[in-house]
Amino acid sequence: MIPTSPFHGLSAFPLTPAGAEGRVDVDALGVLIERLVSAGVDSIGLLGSTGTYAYLDRQERSRAVAAAVEIVRGRVPLIVGVGALRTSWARSLAQDAERLGGDALLLAPMSYTPLTGEEVAAHFEAVAGATGLPLCIYNNPGTTHFTFSENLLARLSHHPRIAGVKMPLPADEDFAGEIARLRNATPDDFAVGYSGDWGAVPALLAGADAWYSVVAGLLPGPALRLTRAAQAGRTDEAEAIDGAFQRLWTLFRAHGSLRVMYVIAGLLGLPAGEPPQPIQPLPDAVTAEVEAALADLDAVSGDRPKV
């Protein structure tokens, strides 16, 4: 398949290194992104939930985008998260991303007052219409507290700029059924991808267009091997690599993947800083568990020197 949008393959979501007051360390961000591009990921998901976009103001998000564009230099598509509570803010962030050289947008329906489907539809249409960039719907009820109906996704998929969706893992684990329903209700070139790293193998084996991956933001090597095996239908290989990730997935589910990513960065000696407060670093006791989980990946990883 020839991708018609940037929303295909392995999209790696880097952390955004920043200080306690929310000032982005653009040099450190550049180090993280260069590793991902060099590893060969299919896109960079800048300022996703893993990139702590919700905790960075407009100026800092612009600094992050500008730094990322400079590092990526067009080698892979740069997808920029532009979610914000207010429609006018999200529009401005989308326009910033386009002006600074981003390739695509990722928009989550952040909420405070719970939103109706009509309100989310109008929000997405307003932001999608603000730039010429393709936009991916960021369907992430765990953080936004809004759940897209399949009808709403189908409606939005017909907007000329809305080119894909990043789905959460289906509660019934029926990836094939959900993908079939979404394909049936959306244009042929609308891309259906998944997040929730522990569901990547079944999602890709069921024909998902993309894996929006937290772990690939720091461990692109094994994430790429998993992706390529699953995309090619090499089930045994994909499941073997997934097996090596199991201890890490357990920690992601127990502590939240974001908190664990900061521990991984520390163990890899990468400059990620600390999570934005109120989110706190995990206690030291967890570090040993993450270290053990990473050791499981040695056989499938080129990211980390053997001990």
Write out the binding residues.
50
Annotated binding site for pyruvate: 50
Please choose, from the candidates 304, 205, 289, 307, the residue with its C-alpha nearest in 3D space to the C-alpha of residue 252: 289
Rounded to the nearest whole angstrom, what is the least distance from the CB of residue 80 to a copy of itself in the complex?
Answer: 17
Bridge partners, residue 210, by sequence: 9, 193
CA-to-CA dists, residue 13 to 189, 200, 228, angstroms: 23, 14, 18
Q: Which is nearer to a copy of itself, 31 or 286 (CB)?
A: 286
Q: Which is nearer to a copy of itself, 110 or 133 (CB)?
A: 110
Rounded to the nearest whole angstrom, what is the least distance from the CB of residue 62 to a copy of itself in the complex?
Answer: 15
Chain residues in the site for a copy of itself (CB under 8 A): 20-22, 49, 52, 54-55, 85-89, 109-110, 112-116, 118-120, 122-123, 126, 142-143, 145, 256, 258, 276-280
Catalytic residue status for 138: yes
Q: Of the residues 166, 194, 212, 262, which is catalytic? A: 166
Q: Which are the contacts of 302, defined by CB distance < 8 A and separation ≥ 6?
A: 221
Rounded to the nearest whole angstrom, what is the least distance from the CB of residue 287 to a copy of itself in the complex?
Answer: 17
Q: Of the residues 138, 194, 212, 262, which is catalytic? A: 138
Radius of gyration of the chain (CA): 18
Rounded to the nearest whole angstrom, what is the least distance from the CB of residue 142 to a copy of itself in the complex?
Answer: 7
- Strands of the chain, DSSP E: 9-12, 43-46, 78-81, 104-107, 135-138, 162-167, 191-194, 210-213
| Residue pointed to by tokens 């489907």 | 117
Catalytic residue status for 166: yes
Active site residues: 138, 166
